[in-house]
Amino acid sequence: MKRKRMLLASLTLVLATLISACGANKANDAQTSTAPDSAASEASASSSGSAGGTDDSFTIRIGAWFIDDRPFMQQFKANVEKAYKEKYPKASIQWDITLGDTYADKLKAELASDTAPDVFFHQGKTAAFGEVGYLADLSGETWASKLNPGAKSAYSYKDTVYALPMGIASSGIWYNKKIFADLGIEVPKSWAEMESAFAKIKAAGITPVAAGFKDAWTASMTFNLWMQPYGNESSPTFGKDLYEGKKRLDGPEVQAVMTHLQEMVEKGYLNKTALSIDWPQSAELFTSGKAAMIVQGPWMPGTAQENFQTKGHTAFDLGYFPFRTDKGYAKLSLGIDQSLSVNAKTKHLQPAKDLVGVIASPEVYGPFNVGSGTVPAIQGMQLDYPNAALNDLLKVVDETESGMGYEIYVPASAMTSLVETFTKVASGIKFDPKDLTEAQKKLEKDKGTVILPAE
């Protein structure tokens, strides 16, 4: 499906991995209350059916893990509070912020004990939470009909909309435009053209691709982004085919990716330190001009700008392009980092839905996506990113087939096995197709653990 113009926002990775990559800045955790206040409970009866404002005083709680002291995050909070105050003049928003990984466990415990916030952010839990009745139905909200269908599995369960994705991220290959221009290299349109570019860059004494596989998530992201086009070229339902046994993890698609990686290692197209340096170090290798390309998420332009300013690296323009197959086929993998839902047991149902509606408004949602470097999941928003590289990303997203990653159909155990093989090949060990046998066995054994995405 060709992506229509959508303008925004990991991940991804993608993922808790997106947040790990961007890094959570220092901030004080907001103290969390365990139950709505009495005034809120009293107000709910009169406000729950209101489509507009109310004169009642109440406090509505919103839970999050990523809202730190970065300027655009603080502006996001201010924008939300200002817009919500216009709808509910006497309402107060209580931000229940717990930075980092502990938030997810805390949220699960609160949901189980009926003490969760009225509105809360989560990561990849729409289907899991929707299945057990934790989430309120948001299908009738105005913004719900405008959500990008390519991200359906991130915001719905059994055709019911339960979440507002805060933005769509698409990772891929970022490149140094100056190096490409100096060497007369055009953006590769096939794997053969990519190999030609690698050879020219290597001959010029520059590392073609910077990798920091010491951080396992970078190896996982690279593999999955590479597999997306190879798998979907063979079948538009590659992920589902794997789950149903029509395709195999030891099949020709996975073997092609592993073989190409081996060729890159043998020809010196990756930095020799790929397995011993982490993501920030690989970013420095790229922004210092010692490497021409890096596989990363939409946060890379922002990281590059920071490195240019703080590490003395000479600034250059970044460009973006996706992985392509031997035949030139590309399919972007869409990632959703933060999703916003309403607690099904909130005592302020309509005010809670209205809070999500406020956040979905162009005045709030647009600046958030610009700040976080993501593309809006709500279609039709026209944004202009100050970083030209992100505008390049948007152009590619507009022109390239995209969808959710094939890996959502694959159990974690099988993915771990695949990434272990990928990392082993990256270390210089020759690829043996038999290395994929274990991944296929784990797929067959553990596929019952997969929560199938919405169709």
Report the alpha-carbon distance of residue 398 to residue 405 in Å, rounded: 17
Report the alpha-carbon distance of residue 304 to residue 316 in Å, rounded: 9
Residue spans of the domains in the chain: they are 16-169+336-394, 172-333+405-449
Report the alpha-carbon distance of residue 87 to residue 223 in Å, rounded: 46
Report the alpha-carbon distance of residue 300 to residue 426 in Å, rounded: 22
**What pLDDT is recorded for position 150?**
75
Residue 186 CB-density burial (10 A; 0-12 exposed, 13-18 middle, 19+ buried):
exposed
| Token reading at 153 | 């599995």
Report the alpha-carbon distance of residue 104 to residue 250 in Å, rounded: 34
- Cα 83 to Cα 59, 89, 267, 297: the distances in Å are 15, 10, 56, 31
Give 366-399 pLDDT, tens digit per residue: 999 988 888 888 988 878 888 888 888 878 877 8
**What pLDDT is recorded for position 19?**
36
Give 166-222 pLDDT, tens digit per residue: 998 889 999 999 999 999 999 999 999 999 999 999 999 999 999 999 999 999 999
**What pLDDT is recorded for position 371?**
87
- Cα 203 to Cα 28, 183, 292: the distances in Å are 50, 10, 12
Topology (CATH) of 16-169+336-394: D-Maltodextrin-Binding Protein; domain 2 (3.40.190)
Topology (CATH) of 172-333+405-449: D-Maltodextrin-Binding Protein; domain 2 (3.40.190)
| Token reading at 148 | 């990008």
**What pLDDT is recorded for position 53?**
54
Pairing of strands 318-321, 172-176: antiparallel
221 contacts: CB under 8 Å, gap ≥ 6 = 11, 12, 13, 14, 15, 17, 171, 295, 296, 297
Report the alpha-carbon distance of residue 79 to residue 147 in Å, rounded: 22
Counting as low any pLDDT under 50, the low residues of the chain are: 1-52
Report the alpha-carbon distance of residue 425 to residue 437 in Å, rounded: 15
- The yes-or-no answer to whether 16-169+336-394 and 172-333+405-449 have a common fold is yes
Is the separation of the CB atoms in 126 and 163 below 8 Å? Answer: yes
171 contacts: CB under 8 Å, gap ≥ 6 = 11, 12, 13, 14, 221, 225, 295, 296, 297, 298, 333, 335
Give 220-240 pLDDT, tens digit per residue: 999 999 999 999 999 999 999
**What pLDDT is recorded for position 396?**
86
**What pLDDT is recorded for position 265?**
98
- Cα 98 to Cα 28, 67, 107: the distances in Å are 8, 9, 10
